[in-house]
Structure 1
């Protein structure tokens, strides 16, 4: 009897121990407006889900960090503490679309046994989470499990990685139109890069992002086993490389490891983010990445000067009515400087060809760079130099001090075309080194921004967008793309789309011409891009000769500031049209764009403070559906609260500069 009783007690204790081990812990966190609820379950898996006003937005989705030693941080997680915090503050933003950013969220920090944890934040417009570890020495990250599950097979806007450099996956320009398709129809032979949008109906859109990406590979998305959701995929760590890709300008990994990162054991990992909108226009003025990025590491960034640049490559140095042979030479760049000076444009860019191939320390014999830089100084125009990432990574210790001393103000750095740990870490190293010499950097041929432009404010430009260079060779539907990216790609941060075409074509007349490119859509569509698209370092892509022939339009373009004090989303529908307003020093700028569908919009000017205003307006001409260069310039009187009907031609636009009448 005693043995039976002892056995029963042991069995009960074992059963209790098993039940205790299997017990889950649940946590709920709401946004401060009460509309969004995050639910976290720590059990066999660490799982998160999100509701908006009771509607399931993100279905239960597992997360974990898989280490090289076999540990899986998140599976069977033992939560040792849970701390919540309420934040309601405002911070100053530098070189951004607004001066003040409201930062309002509730935070849950789960600290777990095995020296790791997860931070969750719930904002009024989305949710973010990130892992952190507190381990000694270096750790190997074999993989990260990140899932974004949905309750239905919704429509998504998917930017596929398609142009593999040297035919190798994870080597891409990060430029793609959006494939609008059901989640379950995700391509089996590709991956998607971020941001990616999901349309959940009822005016609800979800945009998947990442923020504060540093010393870690960027996240791609693939279809997961639910066929109604996505999972994170990451480029493995590169072990061996060779030169290849486009014109042999890319560093192509030929061997990759079976892990994605080697990193410090005590650190925070990138934020995994979903932004949730209840109307499309909300996405035109979102600050999520800015709020999640690390603070500036430059003590005094007053020397960083955003602005516009006269750019040579897109227009193929095709200036005319001059008495010298146009091309990559000193007289041509002096001509660009004269144009920039006359129009108060801050910079010119010397794109590919200014240096000896493969050696940035040596200047092409056709270029007297010091003469060009000095000539620019006399005219109050500064010089930015183009370079490949491979050359910058190899030579920055030599050339940054060399060209900074000469008076060059920065570098446009191209052909990264990867976002594995090595490249991501390099973007921070370059920005830091450039800042030491008061050099700005414009990153091209690169993944989307994730907040480095806040951490290093000398990073003033990012491509990661299928921009206007494609008009030189492509026939794709750019007008639809141009009214999709403000709601999707621009959520990640600034984008160097390079607008400003003065040769404009309707759909029937458009054809790609590399040496004398034109744009799809109207002249006013191009003007509106300077207001709608966020770009602290903004291009004038066409050539000076044409701009001088089109001085009215040039005057409008060069009058639009590249950073603003305030941004107001006016109206929009992803893929259809977009309209927003920006304010700098009390002057307002309004832009509206449409796809190939003509449409009438009503703009509400309630955003204007009280008073009477004069608006200089550029609108599509009555014949812009036949000749895309047709436009009408007029002056209108406007006051706060006015509602103005505007007409947009196919591929059209509308732009205005609005000043208070004193």
Structure 2
């Protein structure tokens, strides 16, 4: 009896001791639904987090805090409450860039602290995310947010280095080890870290509202740290589109004290193709703010600026005038293209977009387009829109314009982030689409305002007009980097194609590097609900087979599957629209042959229209072969690609 009582007492003591030790450790864990990703949050005085994939550490002891009105939320912390939850549901997408339905499944850990703030971690099967939440009264000043990222080893990173926080976010991706980046060098987002065991970590943010965009700064070690633009007090114009900061605050935001903050997003993949399928930015962003979205119509758009209105085979002098734009409208109408853009030059001046230039009659062009089922989108610098938003948008609506391409913002501070939302809402009020150029990456606005139909923020085809940096390798890097954040207005469609040795820079008669089929495949591989046809109609008329093929392309999709991929080397993408599938493949400078099976097809036979690199495409990049064949889900397809090559197919259900 005495022995029994002693054993019971000892057991109670051990259990109490273990409980006490566990509380003292102040470690809280949350794993992904499939159990592969484990995140540990430590609240011993400060807040740190670590993470592993299949037991392989990738992040270690990452510090996070938020400084509000001089008080650091994240130091000397006291936990008040822990809440755990699990969600598994489906989200319907209004403008389906990758798919109509996205599975939203995660485990969540919410830690509430004294001083009226919380941190929330969500762990998905394909990523780790966290954010701060505050419940303070009135307005608050955000002095800084600490986002320290300590990696478990000296991993390589694809680093879109910036020279200034006043940037168009059009960068090449430097492939370096973390420690090789000297302290102070910094990048915009997204960026991609290549960890061990083929684990890739795509880093970006989501649900960015009333707050500055995040940049990451190198430390000369295996760590990165956050960098934010400050609130601007005073600036002056430099020309019609650039600004110089005269005076700025010593804080990054002034905002409501009761709010959620942007999600810090870490996309995790063990296969490169999983990266491109990731849709966390959309899932983590606020729900649609618009009651009616039925008027939002994605589609192809014929574009004038890249080709410099350099049309030929006509009986009039081309230029910024009605005759030229009617030629674009006629082209768009012939091939069922729903939009044309009138870019810089259509207005009286770049600072006065309330009046067309004397050679353009907008009313006449709008009517001419309507008779041919083609709508107009107008370009503007952001400055005039910011100063005279209602007047300009009211005039656009009065003319019957369907969209605004707004350009040269080149900032990501709180004020500019708010300009994006204000523009999106004001355009939605008038049923206008928005295409942001000179823009930071997508960060959640397109879910809240689905009329925001595309973003630039990418080093795209326009650069071929003045440089030779848009290589096939760059093109097959973009789906794993910039496109992780959302759709990108790369502006494909070049009909003058050249291998590297033959490439020439030309502003008025530009060409692309890589093959014709490399360009065609972009219409499947690249996310872009408003997708450009960047070359001029005269070139498309001359290339009847190519434009007939492109005119059948969709810009939104019921489903997306990445069939095969390797970062910076190649990608094969399949997209579904209705009963049909579209396949696009792209490679870097290395020629390669891939084999794919068509098991993703539905039952039944399909007729395949195929555009593939011609036998001489390694020398003459314009060389291609058009063919048709019948296939079903049991068929295997060989995809031969030349250097800088591509392959595209439309699979029509019989």
1:273 aligns with 2:265: yes
Q: 1:521 aligns to what? A: 514
Superposed CA offset, 1:593-639 (max 9, x none):
00111011111211111222111000000000110000000001111
Q: For residue 303 of structure 1, what is the aligned residue in structure 2?
A: 295
What pairs with 1:38-437 in structure 2 (closer than 5 Å)? 38-68=39-69, 70-96=70-96, 97-162=98-163, 169-188=164-183, 190-224=185-219, 227-244=221-238, 248-357=240-349, 358-437=351-430
Determine if the alignment matches structure 1 residue 464 to structure 2 residue 457: yes
Equivalent-residue separation in structure 2 for 1:623 and 1:263 (angstroms): 60
1:529, distance to aligned residue in structure 2 (A): 0.2
Distance 1:191 1:474 in 2: 23
Asked whether the 8 Å contact 1:250–1:390 carries over to 2, the reply is: no
CA contact (8 A) 2:172 2:474 kept: yes
Could you tell me whether the CA contact under 8 Å between 2:181 and 2:219 is conserved in 1? no
The DSSP-based 3-state class of the residue aligned with 1:258 is: coil
SS at match of 2:276: helix
Give the secondary structure class of the aligned counterpart of 1:554: helix
Report the Cα distance in structure 2 between the residues aligned to 1:38 and 1:567, rounded to whole angstroms: 29
Q: How does 1:582-661 map to 2 (within 5 A)?
A: 582-661=575-654
Query: Would the aligned equivalents of 1:319 and 1:543 in 2 still touch at CA under 8 Å?
Result: yes
Kindly indicate whether the alpha-carbon contact (under 8 Å) linking 2:302 and 2:532 is maintained by their aligned counterparts in 1: yes
| Contact 2:618/2:643 (8 A) holds in 1 | yes
C-alpha deviation, 1:188, in angstroms? 4.5
Aligned to 2:162, what secondary structure does the other structure show? coil
Distance in 2 (CA, whole Å) between partners of 1:190 and 1:228 is 13
Partner SS state of residue 148, structure 2: strand
**1 CA distance for matches of 2:265 and 2:219?**
18
- Deviation per CA, 1:341-371, whole angstroms, max 9, x where unpaired? 0010010000001112211112111111111
Deviations 1:150-180 (A, max 9, x none): 1111111000113xxxxxx311110111000
Q: Distance in 1 between matches of 2:473 and 2:182?
A: 21
Q: Please, what TM-score do these two structures have when normalized by structure 1? A: 0.94
Q: How far is 1:502 from its partner? A: 0.1
Kindly indicate whether the alpha-carbon contact (under 8 Å) linking 1:619 and 1:631 is maintained by their aligned counterparts in 2: yes
The Cα shift of 1:254 comes to 2.0
Preserved CA contact (<8 Å) 1:251 1:390: no
Shift of 1:67: 1.6
Q: Secondary structure at the match of 2:501?
A: coil
Tell me, yes or no, if the aligned pair for 1:443 and 1:461 is still in contact at 8 Å.
yes
Partner of 1:26: 27
* 2:36 maps to 1:35: yes
Aligned length: 632
What do residues 82-128 of structure 1 show as CA deviations (whole Å, max 9, x unaligned)?
Answer: 10111000010011221100000011111111011111100001100
Contact 2:458/2:490 (CA < 8 Å) preserved in 1? yes
Matches of 1:641 and 1:288 in 2, distance apart?
Answer: 32
Residue aligned with 1:496, SS: coil
| Cα 1:189/1:115, change in 2 over 3 Å | closer
Aligned-partner Cα distance in 1 for 2:281–2:583? 24
SS of residue paired to 2:576: strand
Structure 1 alignment gaps of length 5 or more: 1-18, 163-168
Give 1:485 deviation, angstroms.
0.7
Instruction: Report the Cα offset of residue 284 of structure 1.
Output: 1.6
Task: Classify the secondary structure of the residue corresponding to 2:393.
Answer: helix
Deviation string for 1:168-206 (max 9, x for gaps)? x31111011100001011145631000010111211111
- CA distance in 2 between partners of 1:59 and 1:482 (Å): 33
Quick check: 2:89–2:105 contact (8 Å CA) kept in 1?
yes
Structure-1 separation of matches of 2:304 and 2:182: 37
**Helix, strand or coil at the partner of 2:83:** strand
CA RMSD, 1 decimal: 1.3
Deviation of 1:23 after TM superposition, in Å, equals 4.5
1:24, distance to aligned residue in structure 2 (A): 4.7
1:579 aligns with 572
* Distance in 2 between residues matched to 1:381 and 1:409, nearest whole Å: 10
Runs of 4+ in 1 over 4 A off after TM superposition: none
Give me the whole-angstrom Cα distance separating, in 2, the residues matched to 1:232 and 1:220: 6
